[in-house]
């Protein structure tokens, strides 16, 4: 049984703890009744400074006697001593009270809260209520609260629990920051992830179809229907319009990063090897950070909440690579002065570029006197598949058309691959090979090995090994 279930069970059993009384429902909440939301970042930078809680109102659900103990807790906070005064606790008689408003006195702090005691000789009548204010906590500790406001009353003489109320909706701690899919609704009109499919049948120079979202091509009709992929996202710096209670931070910077893929398709102007000459379009108020690399794009945005509609536009002349894009969003801010600053970083999902084919990577193939290669592809599908190889060797790369992997056939690729490598003047050393095959992933298995001196065979583990178990077997 979890904590809240135990509290609820205790509350349900209270009628048996105070014989001769009529049990009513006690309540505890902030006054005026509402959910008070605090900025997580604002509280963190508040540090040891004082935060005054809204007035806490307790409506009693059981009769209390003189010197009974009353506890208010907000678990997780560092509570500060209250200053006793006639205004700290103001009580009001309930509809059945015939002896006048009760009185309570402050005793001390307890872990995560405060202790009080009934000081009126006539005690407390069911339906009476008391307002407690001001009660102070350390600001940073409030950020670690679970947001549960608790009231308990114990008999002074026995310590028996006689009244209880819990509120889980009075206080909330929320970040000021979010990005589509993290801190903002996962599904919204302004969240369109990258979702293009690279066309292996066109040499991976194009996408298989036109972007279906208007932001992916600007105003329709699209000028390059198979060269655009939409990307739209939202960011927030104010909790998506949340009315925060207490301190909020001032934003000084906002960036997003999209990585885990190749941006070489944006390298369209001299000098070679520099990316983002083109290809990233229509993200209003956002610019490409000069620190961006050909494997990581950083966009710098304004310090306000934004809705961003744009697209990636490929040139149609550069080979594309599948990518499971990953993203981060980062905000910098301060509270009070720039010397009291912080940052928040969130992950988000920009989307994925897939391929209408399969790629298999051979990490190692040796060349030299007395060494031969053994490379076969098994195509279990019903359609022939084209095979293309990208070879990585001596700090460079080159491509060759390897041939056809016939349907339901095991085809040797070694001879054609060797001719491709020899055509680049490579007679010795080591190469790596990436095969792109125009067939479904589940239809293809590649076997790779090499032979030294006609007797010593070494198997080359490639990214295809074990693929068949995934699709054709229950073996894990």
Rounded CA gap, 77 and 110, in Å? 10
Whole-number mean pLDDT of the chain? 88
Position of tokens 């049990």?
23
> What band does 20 get if pLDDT is binned at 50, 70 and 90?
very low
Instruction: Please compute the mean of the pLDDT values over residues 165-178 and round it to a whole number.
Output: 93
Residue 12: per-residue pLDDT: 43
Instruction: Please compute the mean of the pLDDT values over residues 377-404 and round it to a whole number.
Output: 93
Residue 215 confidence (pLDDT) above 80: no
> What band does 3 get if pLDDT is binned at 50, 70 and 90?
very low
Residue 13: per-residue pLDDT: 42
Rounded CA gap, 168 and 152, in Å? 15
Residue 308: per-residue pLDDT: 85
- Sheet of 280-281: strand order equals 183-184, 178-180, 228-236, 306-313, 280-281
Residue 118: per-residue pLDDT: 97
pLDDT in tens, 276-292: 998 888 888 899 999 99
Instruction: Please compute the mean of the pLDDT values over residues 422-433 and round it to a whole number.
Output: 95
Q: Which distant-in-sequence residues (6+ apart) come within 8 Å of 328 by Cβ?
A: 256, 257, 259, 345, 346, 347, 348
Three-state SS for 391-439 is: EEECCEEEEEEEEEECCCEEEECHHHHHHHHHCCCCCCEEEEEEEEECC
Instruction: Please compute the mean of the pLDDT values over residues 182-191 and round it to a whole number.
Output: 75
Do β-strands 337-355 and 197-198 pair in parallel, antiparallel, or remain unpaired?
parallel
pLDDT in tens, 305-352: 998 888 898 999 999 999 999 999 999 999 999 999 999 999 999 999
Position of tokens 């202790």?
115
Instruction: Please compute the mean of the pLDDT values over residues 446-461 and round it to a whole number.
Output: 87
Residue 369 confidence (pLDDT) above 60: yes
End-to-end CA distance of the chain: 36
309 in helix, strand or coil?
Answer: strand
Residue 409 confidence (pLDDT) above 50: yes
Lowest-pLDDT choice from 204-218, 337-351, 362-376 = 204-218
Residue 458: per-residue pLDDT: 86
Structure tokens at 221: 């009709």
Residue 228: per-residue pLDDT: 86
Report the share of the chain in percent with pLDDT over 70. 89
Instruction: Please compute the mean of the pLDDT values over residues 131-150 and round it to a whole number.
Output: 94
Rounded to 5 degrees, φ, ψ at 343 are -140, 150
Residue 473 confidence (pLDDT) above 50: no
> What band does 5 get if pLDDT is binned at 50, 70 and 90?
very low
Cα–Cα nearest to 134, from 165, 101, 90: 90
pLDDT in tens, 71-126: 999 999 999 999 999 999 999 999 999 999 999 999 999 999 999 999 999 999 99
pLDDT in tens, 73-84: 999 999 999 999
Instruction: Please compute the mean of the pLDDT values over residues 251-265 and round it to a whole number.
Output: 96
Residue 33: per-residue pLDDT: 86
């Amino acid at each position: 049984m979890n904590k809240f279930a135990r509290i609820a069970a205790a509350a349900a059993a209270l009628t048996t703890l105070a014989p001769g009384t009529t049990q009513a429902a006690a309540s505890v909440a902030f006054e005026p009744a509402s959910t008070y939301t605090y900025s997580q970042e604002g509280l963190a930078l508040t540090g040891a400074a004082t935060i005054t809680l809204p007035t806490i109102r307790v409506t009693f659900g059981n009769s209390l006697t003189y010197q009974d103990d009353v506890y208010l807790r907000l678990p997780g906070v560092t509570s500060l001593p209250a200053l006793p005064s006639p205004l700290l606790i103001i009580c009001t008689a309930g509809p059945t009270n015939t002896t006048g408003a009760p009185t309570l006195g402050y005793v001390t702090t307890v872990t995560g809260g405060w202790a009080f005691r009934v000081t009126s000789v006539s005690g407390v009548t069911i339906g009476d209520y008391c307002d407690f204010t001001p009660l102070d906590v350390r600001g940073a500790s409030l950020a670690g609260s679970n947001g549960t406001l608790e009231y308990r009353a114990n008999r002074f003489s026995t310590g028996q629990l006689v009244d209880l109320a819990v509120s889980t909706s009075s206080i909330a701690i929320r970040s000021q920051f979010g990005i589509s899919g993290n801190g903002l609704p996962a599904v919204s009109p302004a969240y369109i992830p990258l979702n293009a499919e690279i066309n292996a049948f066109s040499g991976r120079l194009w996408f298989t179809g036109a972007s279906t979202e208007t932001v992916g091509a600007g105003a329709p009709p699209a000028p390059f229907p198979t060269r655009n992929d939409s990307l739209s996202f939202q960011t927030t710096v104010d909790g998506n319009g949340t009315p925060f209670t207490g301190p909020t931070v001032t934003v000084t910077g906002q960036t997003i990063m999209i990585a885990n893929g190749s941006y070489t398709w944006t390298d369209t102007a001299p000098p070679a090897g520099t990316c983002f000459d083109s290809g990233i379009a229509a993200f209003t108020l956002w610019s490409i950070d000069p620190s961006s690399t050909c494997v990581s794009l950083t966009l710098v945005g304004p310090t306000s909440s934004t809705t961003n509609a744009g697209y990636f536009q490929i040139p149609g002349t550069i080979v594309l690579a599948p990518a499971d894009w990953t993203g981060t969003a980062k905000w910098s801010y301060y509270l009070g002065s720039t010397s009291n600053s912080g940052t928040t970083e969130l992950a988000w999902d920009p989307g994925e570029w897939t391929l209408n084919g399969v790629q298999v990577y051979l990490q190692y193939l040796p060349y030299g006197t007395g060494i031969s290669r053994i490379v076969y592809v098994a195509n279990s599908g019903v359609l022939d598949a084209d095979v293309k190889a990208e070879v990585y060797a001596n700090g460079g790369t080159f491509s060759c058309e390897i041939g056809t992997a016939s349907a339901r056939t095991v085809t040797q690729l070694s001879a054609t691959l060797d001719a491709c490598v020899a055509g680049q003047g490579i007679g010795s050393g080591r190469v790596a090979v990436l095969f792109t095959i125009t067939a479904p992933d589940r239809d293809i298995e590649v076997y790779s090995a090499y032979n030294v001196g006609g007797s010593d065979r070494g198997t080359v583990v490639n990214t295809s090994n074990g693929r068949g178990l995934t699709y054709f077997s229950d073996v894990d």
